[in-house]
A and B are shown apart, each in its own frame.
Chain A
Amino acid sequence: MLRPLLRLRSLGLIVCSTFALLQTPAYAELTIEITGSGANKIPVAIADFGGDTGAGRAVTSVIRSDLERSGLFRLVDTAGVAMTEATAPNYGDWKSRGADALAAGSLGPAGDGRQEARFQLYDVTRQTGLGGTAFVAPAPRLRAVGHRIADMIYEKLTGEPGVFATRIAYVVKSGAARYELHIADADGQNAQAALTSREPIISPTWSPDGTRIAYVSFENKKPIVYVHTLATGQRVVVANFKGSNSAPAWSADGRKLAVVLSKDGGSQIFTVNADGSGVQKITNGPSINTEPFFSPDGQSIYFTSDRGGSPQIYRSGLGGGDAQRVTFEGSYNVSPRISPDGKTLAFITRRESGFRLAVMDLASRQVQVLTDSYKDESPTFAPNSRMILIATDTGGRGVLSAVSVDGRIKQRLSIPAGDVREPAWGPFAK
């Protein structure tokens, strides 16, 4: 059964678009394969958008595949129905088709060669409208409109914001010496290379405003931390000290990064301003301290340390005081990431000789291992805290996998003939 359709804050929007009509180089796109899904799916009908049938079909298809891929919805057959946002829905008919919710809309010319997409969402069970909106975009950006509409449907029906309009970053390795940092839509489409290099690129991470990515590049034969502005390609060296510079993590306000430097010997955590100034040492001692991650409230840093004899996750208040150990089960727990809502710790644990994605509920300290992989790496939370993207391995090839926090929904994202790794999920689109 459908849980009650949630009433949301007023979401009605008038939307204008400022799009560049640019052709950008095409890169191999990620294909997504669903390998597990939720138990109770909301049956939703997305009627074929009316008006301009070509554009309507494109938008309808994006909305349907977004909702289906999320694992939370079951698409109800809409065959034989011709309706738009202006048509009064026949609730009885939709109820007999098994739909709990219905969306209908249309595409039409908006002038300047642009298209306007309008839609309305209805609660079939309660026989009420749930609101609607309109977006204007040039034809090449209609996919983005579809993602925005899917996000609105997702939010109205689940009560949580959708992430279909967000972007992801990841590294593609092709051949022996070609590394590319790609930026793509969350569904793997529109991939573009932000950086290409003959040397490895690791640990990309988005600035909180989504305009910059920090990463580690080995282009000068050693690890150096850069902050890269996506729109301009401008790169700032944030940390290039003697020794290794790695593991960047943004503070919540985007003004600082935590990094790991070996300039004093060993690997220790420091903070540095996003322009490379103001380096401050955070950890000390003979042990490894690495993989820093700021808690969303900015009060503490989670990190990996071998101070207890094996790599484990610790938490340290930024105001000082001793670090507290967070993980205890097993002899290898690394790569801590805190969900944006602050409730969940995702990390990689070694169990039965496999490296697997695990989550810890920070309130109860309960740990759940979510995969049975042997080579999971680099977890990254979706901005709605519901999904975790990881790098893993299938048949010796690197792929990405999106796993829901409850472990039920699983999707695999891969590129034919390419090795995909080091995912980073971007923030909500502004």
Chain B
Amino acid sequence: MKQLVIPALLALLIAGCSSTPDTGDQQTGAPVESRGDSGVATVTAGNMDARKLPPELTDPKSILSKRSVYFDYDKFDVKAEYKDLVAAHAKFLSNNRQFKMLVQGNTDERGSREYNLALGQKRADAIKRTLTMLGAREDQVEAVSLGEEKPKNEGQNEAAWAENRRGDMLYSGEF
């Protein structure tokens, strides 16, 4: 994270106050720009490092390499076709208690960003509930929402929106 030291400079550079009477009214000393923040410092947000995962989580032949659960429009239940996938991850978490998982819920782009964040949370919560029912420990799984902010498909059509109504299961090191 990098920070500029503009504000400190600002404090040093404050100039003296000079005033000129107007044509009649009383005097005040209000500066044109007394906002102490007339300088804006730029902050750069950092990234996290990825770590190595065991092959069973990444081998394309392993069901555990699949991480996405898709949802119907305005629906928040894990559909039957994804039960095996979620069950496999629940079993992995149950056998590997040192692993933690972040479940990220997503929505399509239509509507309010904050309301979509709440809808994505419902999807993530549903996946987490299934995982814990099937053996994952509550403290192994964190359910969060990315709302409409991280679309997998940026298109503005039904096919794109369907790809974006999704929950992703990520292991420590992948997020």
Cα–Cα distance between A231 and B30 once the two chains are bound (Å): 19
Cα–Cα distance between A120 and B24 once the two chains are bound (Å): 11
Q: Give me 22 A-to-B residue pairs in the complex whose CB atoms sit less than 8 angstroms apart, sorted by A's number.
A: A14-B27, A17-B18, A18-B34, A19-B13, A112-B18, A116-B18, A193-B42, A196-B45, A198-B45, A202-B114, A203-B113, A203-B114, A218-B146, A219-B47, A221-B170, A222-B102, A223-B144, A233-B43, A244-B121, A247-B114, A290-B117, A291-B112
Q: Which residues of the other chain, B, contact A218 by a CB distance below 8 angstroms? A: 146, 149-150
Q: Which residues of the other chain, A, contact B122 by a CB distance below 8 angstroms? A: 266-267, 288
Which of B24, B33, B145 contacts A18 (CB under 8 A)? B33
What is the size category of the interface that chain A forms with chain B? Answer: 35 or more
The interface stretch among A37-45, A93-101, A131-139, A401-409 is: A131-139
Residues of A103-141 whose CB lies within 8 A of B: 110-112, 114, 116, 118, 120, 129, 131-138, 141
Q: How does the 8 Å CB contact mask read for A322-342 relative to B, with 1 for contact and 0 for none? A: 000000000010110000000
Cα–Cα distance between A222 and B103 once the two chains are bound (Å): 10
A243-B144 in contact (CB<8A):
yes
B114-A246 in contact (CB<8A):
yes
Cα–Cα distance between A98 and B34 once the two chains are bound (Å): 38
A266-B48 in contact (CB<8A):
no
A233-B113 in contact (CB<8A):
no
A221-B104 in contact (CB<8A):
yes
Q: Which residues of the other chain, A, contact B54 by a CB distance below 8 angstroms? A: none
Any B CB within 8 A of the CB of A24? yes
10 A-B pairs with least C-beta separation: A12-B25, A233-B41, A16-B17, A219-B45, A231-B37, A197-B45, A200-B149, A267-B118, A222-B144, A14-B27
Which of B10, B29, B44 contacts A14 (CB under 8 A)? B29
Cα–Cα distance between A378 and B3 once the two chains are bound (Å): 29
Cα–Cα distance between A129 and B23 once the two chains are bound (Å): 10
Closest residue of chain A to B16, judged by CB? A112
Additional A-B contact list (16), CB under 8 Å, known A15-B29, A197-B44:
A10-B26, A14-B21, A14-B22, A14-B27, A24-B39, A111-B18, A116-B20, A198-B45, A199-B45, A218-B149, A219-B46, A222-B144, A223-B117, A231-B40, A235-B43, A335-B114
Any A CB within 8 A of the CB of B77? no
Any B CB within 8 A of the CB of A410? no
Q: Which residues of the other chain, B, contact A85 by a CB distance below 8 angstroms? A: 23
A residues engaging B (CB < 8 A)?
A: 10-22, 24-25, 85, 110-112, 114, 116, 118, 120, 129, 131-138, 141, 144-145, 148, 183, 192-200, 202-203, 210-211, 217-223, 228-233, 235, 242-244, 246-247, 260, 262, 265-267, 288, 290-291, 304, 311, 332, 334-335, 348, 350, 355, 377-378, 396, 422, 429-430
Cα–Cα distance between A262 and B25 once the two chains are bound (Å): 56
Q: Which residues of the other chain, B, contact A243 by a CB distance below 8 angstroms? A: 121, 142-144
Q: Which residues of the other chain, B, contact A144 by a CB distance below 8 angstroms? A: 32-33
Report B164 CB to chain A, min CB distance, Å.
14
B15-A19 in contact (CB<8A):
yes
Q: Which residues of the other chain, A, contact B30 by a CB distance below 8 angstroms? A: 13, 15-16, 430
Q: Which residues of the other chain, A, contact B34 by a CB distance below 8 angstroms? A: 18, 430
Closest residue of chain A to B29, judged by CB? A16
Which of A18, A202, A429, A430 contacts B113 (CB under 8 A)? A202
Which of B20, B44, B45, B115 contacts A290 (CB under 8 A)? B115
B144-A13 in contact (CB<8A):
no
Q: Which residues of the other chain, B, contact A200 by a CB distance below 8 angstroms? A: 146, 149-150
Any A CB within 8 A of the CB of B14? yes
Any A CB within 8 A of the CB of B51? no
A134-B21 in contact (CB<8A):
yes
B41-A17 in contact (CB<8A):
no
B10-A20 in contact (CB<8A):
yes
Q: Which residues of the other chain, B, contact A262 by a CB distance below 8 angstroms? A: 121, 125, 143-145
